[in-house]
Amino acid sequence: MSNVPFISSENPHLQADCERCFGLCCVALPYGKSSDFAFDKSSGTPCPNLREDDRCGIHTQLRQKGFKGCTVYDCFGAGQKLSQVTYADKSWRTHPESAREMFDCLPVLRQIHELISYMREVMMRQDTSSLYAAMTEAYPGVLQLSELEPAALLALDLTSHRSNVNALLLQASEQVRGSAPAVTSASKKSKPKKRSGMDFLGANLQGADLRGASFRGALMIAANLRHADARNADWIGADLRDTELSGADLRGAIFLTQAQLNAAKGNADTRLPDHLHMPSHWH
């Protein structure tokens, strides 16, 4: 249980709640035809699958219909915050004069909510308790950013705000990775040589000892981490599309999100942190 007093039900809900959103990601965000999307769509154009009630017409068949990208997108609750709070339940459909502004606000608020999510994780973990005071001081200021009016949101220097917090997130990462448990099994492979973020594309790390590794911002598309020991690794910003995690041990991970797992491959033998769950498409 957290000892952080201001983490409560009054804080922003950091998981997407499509029932309370105007389908903003289905309109605001552009995408190109690829293995993740069946066709091209420009920003501000409603997806043809978006119904008049702001629900997806193929929600239960997204992967089968070629929209895998939709199943791995996470707004961290920014969609419903914009819909219900920032714009006070005034939809882009009924108030088209605000539509462009609303769409532009979505990626900004999403980044803020993502940052809040990482900060909250640090404050909830026992192994980063030494950062409690510093994070407690920084947290309210970032939380206030999520309450800004649209014009103020769009005028934000997000790079500056993120850099102020990033030092604390890096310290948290170092503490978690430094406390990775020892492995006594002789069957584990030795640690691979240090790689740059790009070097993980399609990398074969099956059975590798990745305890305490940093995958910050790494492109790990189609990498093979089957049966790898990746306990206490840092996954912030890592691209896990089609990364093979079957049988991998991800316990103790820091900054690993459900959306990242949804983009990866795995099975019932993949060992996950307690706050995350096995995606429905894993076998």
Residue range 9-66, pLDDT digits in tens? 444 578 889 999 999 999 999 999 999 999 999 999 999 999 999 999 999 999 999 9
What integer pLDDT is reported at residue 184 of this predicted model?
60
Phi and psi at residue 164, to the nearest 5°: -65, -35
Q: Which of 11-25, 96-110, 222-236 has the lowest mean pLDDT?
A: 11-25
Token pair for 144 = 């206030």
CATH tag, 180-283: 2.160.20.80
Taking all residues of the chain, what is their mean pLDDT, rounded to a whole number?
Answer: 91
**pLDDT bracket for residue 164 (50, 70, 90):** confident
DSSP structural state of residue 8: S
Mean local confidence (pLDDT), 86-103: 97
Predicted TM-score (pTM) of this structure: 0.89
Q: In terms of residues, how long is the chain?
A: 283
| Spatial contact of 136 and 4, defined as CB atoms under 8 Å apart | yes
Task: Put residue 247 in one of left, alpha, beta given phi > 0 → left and psi -120 to 50 → alpha.
Answer: left
Token pair for 208 = 């590798």
Mean local confidence (pLDDT), 86-98: 97
| Integer Cα distance of 206 and 191 in angstroms | 11
Q: Where are the domains of the chain?
A: 18-29+73-177, 180-283
Mean local confidence (pLDDT), 71-80: 94
Which class for 171: exposed (0-12), middle (13-18), buried (19 or more C-beta within 10 A)? middle
What integer pLDDT is reported at residue 197 of this predicted model?
55
| Integer Cα distance of 212 and 226 in angstroms | 17
Q: How many CB atoms lie within 10 A of CB 204?
A: 12
